[in-house]
């Protein structure tokens, strides 16, 4: 059996984490875990967690660590993560990274690599301004870079495309500030552990995908030696 592939996608909001995770999940049959998607599902369903998270999300702030950690720990305990997983949007603080390390260690698991999608702020702003998501499943589009075949209709499930509440320009500025203050320190955190791999996220989605796949092939080879 090949060794587990436990990946983290790190990078600013709009760097293309979700776009890449979706492709990688298909290539490698890894459990795809997006804490942002999980929270949006909770908001939609009106759960207690969703109600508590919404005000933070709408302001472009982070949802408190205790809420995120309970949600992530439960998800990482599910069977489909046993052969490997891709984390998108988690961890986002040093406290979350430490808790993740602890939980995985207790189960004899570890992170294989953290892939940093590097994209400068001015490109992030362009990407987020044009991002559209479908109401049914959150499938991702961009009005210029990755438009749907029919305007405002999801190619995959036919549902309506909308702009996320937290993708409005006044919120995006805060999300970028929060990323630089609270999440970017994880670059050093994973670098110190020898787990960081940098990916040029400014290239087109297919080129980024090819680069990541080549990286994963190398990681697997290293792991099997």
- Altogether, the residues listed in the chain come to a count of 225
Q: Is 44 a catalytic residue?
A: no
Binding of ligand ADP by 140 (CB under 6 A):
yes
- Check if the beta carbon of residue 163 is closer than 8 Å to that of residue 131: yes
Enter the DSSP assignment of 62. Answer: P
Q: What is d(CA 4, CA 133) in angstroms, rounded to the nearest whole number?
A: 31
Select the residue whose beta carbon is closest to ligand AMP and give its number.
Answer: 36
Residue among 6, 8, 9, 90 that touches ligand AMP (CB under 6 A): 90
Enter the DSSP assignment of 5. Answer: E
- Check if the beta carbon of residue 94 is closer than 8 Å to that of residue 189: yes
Q: What is d(CA 140, CA 34) in angstroms, rounded to the nearest whole number?
A: 13
- Check if the beta carbon of residue 117 is closer than 8 Å to that of residue 20: yes
Residue among 32, 90, 141, 190 that touches ligand ADP (CB under 6 A): 141
Q: Is 164 a catalytic residue?
A: yes
Q: Quick one: 58 or 78, whose CB is closer to ligand AMP?
A: 58
Q: Looking up tokens 């697997």, which residue turns up?
A: 220
Binding of ligand AMP by 57 (CB under 6 A):
yes
Residue among 19, 35, 96, 114 that touches ligand ADP (CB under 6 A): 19
Binding of ligand ADP by 13 (CB under 6 A):
yes
- Check if the beta carbon of residue 166 is closer than 8 Å to that of residue 43: no
Binding of ligand ADP by 91 (CB under 6 A):
no
Q: Quick one: 15 or 212, whose CB is closer to ligand ADP?
A: 15
Q: Is 177 a catalytic residue?
A: no
- Check if the beta carbon of residue 84 is closer than 8 Å to that of residue 32: no
* CA geometry: angle 12, 156, 152, nearest 5 deg: 75
Smallest separation, CB 135 to ligand ADP (Å): 15
Strands 84-88 and 31-34: parallel
Enter the DSSP assignment of 182. Answer: I
Binding piece for ligand AMP, criterion CB under 6 A, among 31-39, 117-125, 129-137, 200-208 = 31-39
Residue among 56, 168, 203, 220 that touches ligand AMP (CB under 6 A): 56
Binding of ligand AMP by 12 (CB under 6 A):
no
- Catalytic positions are 17, 92, 131, 164, 175
Q: Provide the binding-site residues for ligand ADP, judged by CB under 6 A.
A: 11, 13-19, 127, 130-131, 140-142, 145-146, 204-205, 208
Q: Provide the binding-site residues for ligand AMP, judged by CB under 6 A.
A: 13, 35-36, 39, 56-57, 60-63, 68, 89-92, 96, 166, 175
């Amino acid at each position: 059996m090949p060794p587990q592939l436990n990946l983290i996608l790190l990078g600013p909001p709009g760097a293309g984490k979700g776009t890449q995770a979706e492709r990688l999940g298909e290539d490698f049959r890894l459990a795809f875990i997006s804490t942002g998607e999980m929270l949006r599902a909770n908001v939609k369903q009106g759960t207690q967690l969703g109600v508590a998270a919404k005000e933070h999300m709408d302001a472009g702030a982070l949802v408190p660590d205790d809420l995120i950690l309970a949600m992530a720990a439960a998800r990482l305990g599910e069977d489909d993560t046993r052969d490997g997983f891709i984390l998108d949007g988690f961890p986002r603080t040093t406290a979350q990274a430490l808790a993740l390390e602890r939980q995985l260690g207790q189960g004899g698991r570890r992170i294989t690599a953290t892939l940093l999608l590097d994209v400068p702020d001015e490109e992030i702003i362009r990407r987020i301004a044009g991002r559209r998501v479908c109401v049914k499943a959150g499938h991702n589009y961009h009005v210029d870079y990755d438009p749907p075949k029919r305007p405002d209709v999801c190619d995959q499930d036919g549902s309506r495309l909308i702009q996320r509440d937290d993708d409005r320009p006044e919120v995006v500025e805060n999300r970028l500030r929060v990323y630089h203050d609270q999440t970017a320190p994880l670059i050093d955190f994973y670098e110190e552990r020898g787990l960081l791999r940098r990916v040029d996220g400014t290239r087109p989605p297919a080129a980024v995908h090819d680069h990541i796949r080549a990286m994963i092939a190398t990681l697997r080879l290293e792991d099997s030696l």
